[in-house]
Chain A
Amino acid sequence: NAGVTQTPKFQVLKTGQSMTLQCAQDMNHNSMYWYRQDPGMGLRLIYYSASEGTTDKGEVPNGYNVSRLNKREFSLRLESAAPSQTSVYFCVSTPGQGGLLYTGELFFGEGSRLTVL
């Protein structure tokens, strides 16, 4: 049971390049999230997926796209990277129950450190 796995852990890009951050969980969770964390700041929500087949914007979605490929995987794509996207990215999953009240632990990936030059 690996929990939440993010790849890559480190990446350096040049401005304008594209890349995809991969996230997979093996806990049969419904809900998955992508956050970014900049130095000295809290976690800001980029996109989330309440269940397979659905995605929604968070606080800072501009410059990103996501795909909930299946129940296990939730990827984050930067189509044209900018220096402002230099950050540490965290993928999170939680069981979730769609529209129903839910409580439970959040499971975090180890983070992906992205630098855009």
Chain B
Amino acid sequence: DAKTTQPPSMDCAEGRAANLPCNHSTISGNEYVYWYRQIHSQGPQYIIHGLKNNETNEMASLIITEDRKSSTLILPHATLRDTAVYYCIVRGREGGGNKLTFGTGTQLKVEL
């Protein structure tokens, strides 16, 4: 499975766009990029996923570079409630299954 690398922390002013980068330089052609976030010790919450095209939903946008080696999650208007740890993962195959490996994520702090 492809490994992901994220900055450990980022700050963002409330109302501004939060851009969270993820490096997945070893991603293979059949692996998708997923983003989740975790608030305190709750179970992670799904945000968005994509393969190679940019994606947008009601929560966020996902920009994947053309070579697919990196991606950026964009929260267009960050609020205090978006303060969380954000995880970028890739879905892969091993032994016929779908082994999922999380990194340590990015702690996003949204401030007034």
Instruction: Tell whether, in the assembled complex, residue A50 and residue B96 are in contact, meaning their CB atoms are under 8 Å apart.
Output: yes
Total interface residues in chain B, CB < 8 Å? 28
Query: With an 8 A cutoff between CB atoms, is A96 at the interface?
Result: yes
Q: Considering only CB atoms and an 8 Å cut-off, how many residues of chain A contact the other chain?
A: 34
CB of A102 within 8 A of CB of B41, answer: no
Q: Is B51 an interface residue (CB 8 A)?
A: yes
Count the A-B residue pairs with Cβ separation under 8 angstroms: how many?
Answer: 77
| CB contact between B97 and one of A35, A48, A113 (< 8 Å): that residue | A48
CA distance A62 to B78 in the complex (A): 40
* Residues of chain A contacted by B85 (CB below 8 angstroms): 42
Chain B residue contacts of A51, Cβ below 8 A: 97
Q: Which of B13-21, B29-37, B63-71 contacts A (4 or more CB under 8 A)?
A: B29-37
Contact call B87/A43, Cβ cutoff below 8 A: yes
**Alpha-carbon gap, A48 to B98, bound state (A):** 9
C-alpha spacing A106/B98, complex, angstroms: 11
Across-interface contacts of B102 in A (CB, < 8 A): 35, 42-45
Q: Which among A48, A56, A106 has the highest number of chain B CB atoms within 10 Å?
A: A106
Contact B95 A50 (CB under 8 A): yes
Name the contact of B41 in the complex, choosing from A35, A88, A98 (C-beta under 8 A). A88
- Are B104 and A102 interface neighbours, CB within 8 A? no
B7 to chain A, nearest CB (A): 13
Complex interface bits, B86-112 against A, C-beta within 8 A gives 1, otherwise 0: 010001011111111111110000000
